[in-house]
Structure formats: C-alpha cells, structure tokens
A and B are shown apart, each in its own frame.
Chain A
Amino acid sequence: MNSLGWIMMTVSVCTVLCLVSFCLTKVLSLPAVDMDEVKGPLEIDTGDTEDAD
C-alpha cells in the first residue's frame, strides 16, 4: 500500500470513528427518559385487543 493509500484509509476510518463516537457518547450520556413518558397514556387504539379475531 502506498502512502496516499494509508492517508485515505486513516482519514476515512478516523472521520467515521470520530463521528460515531461523538454521537454515541452524546446519546448514551443523556438522562434516561421517564418511564411514564416512555409508555405513554392509553390514548390511541391501534386495533390490537386481547380478544383479537
């Protein structure tokens, strides 16, 4: 592999690694969402019921 190949590979891989590291660090460091909010109220009927069919 020539030196330009090393440069292209290093820059490409490092760029993607930096981006994914930044994003994941940011996402994982956010406070957890309140479970009440997560599940939400029983407000909308999707059509699925216990006695389906």
Chain B
Amino acid sequence: MAQKEQWGTRIGVILAVAGSAVGLGNFLRFPGQAAQNGGGAFMIPYFISLLLLGIPLCWAEWTMGRFAGTRGFHSAPGIFIVLCRNTFARYFGTLALLVPLVIYMYYVVIEAWCLSYAISYLDGSLMPAANPGAYDEYFGSLVGIGQDGALFRPGHRDFLGILIFTFVMNFFFIYRGITKGIEAFCRVAMPIMVVLALVVLVRVLTLGTPDPAAPDRNVVNGLGSMWNPNFAKLSDPNTWLAASGQIFFSLSVGFGVIINYSSYMRKNDDVALSGLTATSMNEFFEVCLGGLITLPAAFIFLGAAAQEMGTFGLGFTALPSVFAVMPAGQLFGFLWFIMLFIAAITSSLSMLQPVIAFFEEGLGLKRHAAAAILGLIAAIGSGFVVYFSKDLKALDTMDFWVGTMCIFVLAMFQAAVYSIAFSVQSGHAALHEGSHIRVPIALQYLLKFVTPVYLLLIFVAFCIFNVPDYFSAIGKSEVALASIMFISIVGAFLLVMVHIAGIRWMREGKLNFLFEEAGEDEQAANDSPAV
C-alpha cells in the first residue's frame, strides 16, 4: 500500500504555493500595469484589492482545500462534493481541472521561450545589436509569429528541442509526487530566484547614467517612470479594474491550484499564517523586485516608450535591448531569463498537479498511467499552440477564454461554495484550526458579503471592456474558432471523466458520508418533539 501524499514540511507548502503564484506576471505584467495606470497612485487600489480580494480569497481556498483533504479528497470534483454535500457539485470541478490544464498548454511554450533566451545569452548569440528592431525580429522568429506552422519548418529544431526538454522536465517533477517532486524543487528554486533577482536588482540600481549624452535617462528617473504618482488616474474605473485584475491573477486565485495544494495538509496544520506568508512572498517578488527592476531598467535605455509596452514586448524585446548596452549585459541577461524560466517552472508544476491528482483519485489510475495520459493531452494542446503561432492567435485566445474568463468564473464559484459550506462562525473556526495567528472575524463577513460582490463587479466591468472584441475575433479568425473548439473538446472530455469518477466514488462508498449525514439529519428531525 502506498503512503498518503502529504507535504513534508511547513515551509515546503508555503514555498510551493508562493512558487505557483510567482511567475512572469510579477516581473513583466505588474510594472507595465502600474506605469500605465497612475504609477505610484496605482498602489492605492492595488493594496485595497489585496486586502479585500486577494488575501480573503486565498484564505478561503486554503481553508476549503484542507477541510476536504482531511476528508479524503484532493481533486476539485471531490473537494466540491465534500464542501457542497451534493454529488452534482462535482461537475463544477471540471472547471478547476480545465483551467490549469489549458493554461499549462501555452504556459510551457512561454517557459521554453525563456529558456531559449537564457541559452542564447549563454552562447552569445543574443547580443547582436542595441536596436530594438533586431530583438523584435529575433522574438518573432523564435515564436513563429509570421506564419502558422513556421516552427515546424527547418531552422527551428533548437526551439522544439528546448520545448520538449521543458515539457519533460515538468513531468519529471510531477511524476516524483508532492514531497519529492514539487516541494523538493520549490525549496531549491525559490531561494535561487530571490538571489538571481537581487543580483539583477543591484545591477540595475547601480547603473547611474549610462549614456552621458542623455543625462535624463538615469536610475532615479527610471524609478520615477514607475513610481511617480498620477492621482488623477484614481478617478478612472479602468485603474481600479487593472489593480484588482493584477492582484487577482498574480495570486493564482481561481486556478484550482491552492485548493489542491492545501488538500495535502494535515488537520491541524496552520493555514492562516501559511496562506498569508505565501501571499506576502508573492508580493515581495512583485512589488520589491518586479517594481524596481523591469521598468526602471527599460526606461534608462529606451526612455518613456518602455512604459507603453505590453508583457511580451517588455520582457522579450525591450529588456534584451537593455542587456545589449548594459555593462556585463550578457551575464545579466542570462541570469534574468534563467530566473524567469525557474519562476515559470514553479508555476507550471502547480498546473499539472490538480489534474494528475484527479486522474489518480477519480479514475483509479496509477501514477505512471495518469502522467502518461496527462502528458499526451498536454502535448496535443502545446502542439496546437506551437503550430498556430501566427500573431500568437491560439495562445492569445486560450489565455483570454480560459486564463482570464474561466478563472473569474471559477473564483466566483469558489467564493459561493465557501459561503455555502461555512457559516461565519464555522468558517472562523475552520481557518483557526491549528493556526499560529489570529484573524479578525470581520474577515468572514468580508468573505460572505464584500468579496463576492467586489469580484462580480470586476468581472462585469472586465466583460464589458473586453468580451466584445474577443467575440468578434471568433467570427473573423479560423484559428480563434479552432482554439475555442479545442478548449470545448478538452472540457467535454474532462466532464465525462468527472462523471465516471463520481460513479466510481459511489460504488466504492467514498460518498457514503453524504447519505449518513442526511440520515442523521432525518433521524434528528423525527426524534425532535413537535412544537
């Protein structure tokens, strides 16, 4: 008989959850969002969103995951059955499998970009010129942006090899399990990431005024491009939407990951302090490292144009231009991209675990078989993203409909489930079981009444601003339509698997607790004297 999977150490689960949250968004998306939405003033709605949305939802997920995990379920369908006390609830768990699986399909491709850049810095092939146009071309060629199927033509074997290596690396750690795989990797990777980021930070902050001909482009003004506040932006609803969205996506809330990771905790393990620590570590990477490195560095060498660049533009074309003219830029370019690669790996590992846990728990598959089937599905999806590379249409479509819309829906569902499963008092008690810090009971009222409404408002605003464009894209682009169909097929497959898992659990008696509790309630009602 195999041993029950559990986290080996307290810091292990914290590092794993923090590693799941820390990714490219901390270093590339956050600085751009802040600069475009009021600079330093952006931090006001940002911290308000962290308090009202981010931390409460994280605590809710940690509490729900541990609650269901100690009752024998680690996959979302089973967890939702335990929490809702209804077998039908398992079908909503499909979303918590679809989201991480589909995101993994394109995230592993971005991961391979990072590794490819790091290798190119190592062998010196990525220092051709300081002209940003050269890096645009390099990036376009690497990702096959000009034509569908470009990456399967001669000349791209290196990238495909790197992608396969990245893919296999992810599955190697997943195959090793929670303690020996994910936890062991994150315990090494997270400190390495901190060290690498600090080295690059020191380099950026000591750049001074690299070009005497452009004295305005110095470190202090670079920091100013990121942090000088424009308080007028606070009256713009888009600023609040951007801040809430950044917090929401940065913390991995609604990914189905935290709920899965925390299900491997023991009954008396602390979730309050662990959840807060993982959240604060993510904020450290985002505000203290991402906020001080990316945009200031880009501003020093590229000027104010850096503020308007998107995530990929900033990361894969602007920063290489910076490293090209920075003293020892080849070394710092390598360190930067290898750090991004490690950050991406810790995130992608967390996307595979919820699905492999379901295959093992719901379908009774052994680890070998579960990993093989998951690998096949993920490989087909990644192949789809790599093949339909023109304008990154497939990647963009999947990112919007699954990586954004489905996450919102799942987070709202989880917030509703928390409200159903826990009263104010029982939620407070569940959070504090084994806790090493005290959280005010006001949090429970926040979770019941404020957070769901706040989330709904953001979701509606997001839909109004973004959905029409993406809907019209489906009609105009065959690749967008094919991507939607692909997502639907994967979703339908998972839905059938969830249905089968429910039948298996009933046959095995794993859901007997539902009927026993219902019987006890009925008995209690019959025994109680008539009023």
Contact = CB atoms under 8 A, between A and B. Distances in A.
Interface of A: 1-2, 4-9, 11-13, 15-17, 19-20, 23-24, 26-28, 30, 33, 37-40, 42-49, 52-53
A2 B283 CA distance: 24
A50 to B, nearest CB: 8
Given A5-B227, A12-B287, A47-B365, A38 B1 contact: no
Interface stretch (B9-17, B137-145, B333-341, B482-490): B9-17
Contacts of B3: 39-40, 42, 46
12 contacts: A5-B40, A8-B39, A8-B40, A12-B291, A13-B288, A19-B280, A23-B280, A26-B436, A38-B6, A45-B1, A46-B361, A47-B364
B356 to A, nearest CB: 11
Contact of A44 (B39, B72, B280, B281): B72
Contacts of A13: 287-288, 291-292
Contacts of B14: 27
Given A12-B287, A45-B2, A27 B367 contact: no
A44 B452 CA distance: 36
Contact of A16 (B288, B360, B436): B288
Contacts of B228: 1-2, 4-5
Contacts of A38: 6, 8-9
Interface stretch (B60-68, B271-279, B373-381, B523-531): B271-279
Contacts of A24: 277, 281
Residue in A20, A40, A43, A53 with the greatest tally of chain B CB atoms within 10 Å? A20
Interface residues of B, number: 48
A9 B366 contact: no
Nearest to A49: B2
Contact of B366 (A15, A33, A49): A49
Nearest to A9: B227
B64 to A, nearest CB: 19
Contacts of A1: 220-221, 223-224, 227-228
Residue in B6, B11, B40 with the greatest tally of chain A CB atoms within 10 Å? B40
B43 interface: yes
The 7 closest A-B pairs by CB, nearest first: A8-B40, A1-B224, A52-B366, A23-B277, A5-B228, A48-B2, A9-B227
Interface in B209-247: 220-221, 223-224, 226-229
Contacts of A15: 47
Contact of B280 (A20, A40, A47, A48): A20
A10 B87 CA distance: 51
A47 B284 contact: no
Interface string B33-77: 000000111010001000000000000000000000000100000
B277 A52 contact: no
Interface of B: 1-6, 8-11, 14, 39-41, 43, 47, 72, 220-221, 223-224, 226-229, 266, 273-274, 276-277, 280-281, 283-284, 287-288, 291-292, 360-361, 364-369, 436-437
A52 B1 CA distance: 11
Contacts of B6: 38-40
A16 B266 CA distance: 29
Contacts of A28: 11
A7 B227 CA distance: 9
Contacts of A16: 280, 283-284, 287-288
Residue in B3, B276, B368 with the greatest tally of chain A CB atoms within 10 Å? B3
A48 B227 contact: no
Given A12-B43, A13-B291, A42 B1 contact: yes
Nearest to A38: B8
Contacts of A9: 40, 223, 226-227, 291
A1 to B, nearest CB: 3
Nearest to A48: B2
Given A46-B361, A47-B361, A27 B227 contact: no
B41 A37 contact: no
B274 A44 contact: no
B9 A33 contact: yes
A45 B72 CA distance: 10
Nearest to B177: A48
A28 B5 CA distance: 23
Given A38-B8, A42-B3, A53-B369, A17 B41 contact: no
Nearest to B372: A53
A26 B437 contact: yes
A40 B364 CA distance: 22
A7 B461 CA distance: 31
A44 B361 CA distance: 11
B277 A27 contact: yes
Given A19-B280, A20-B284, A23-B277, 8 more contacts: A1-B227, A2-B224, A12-B227, A16-B287, A27-B11, A30-B436, A33-B10, A40-B4
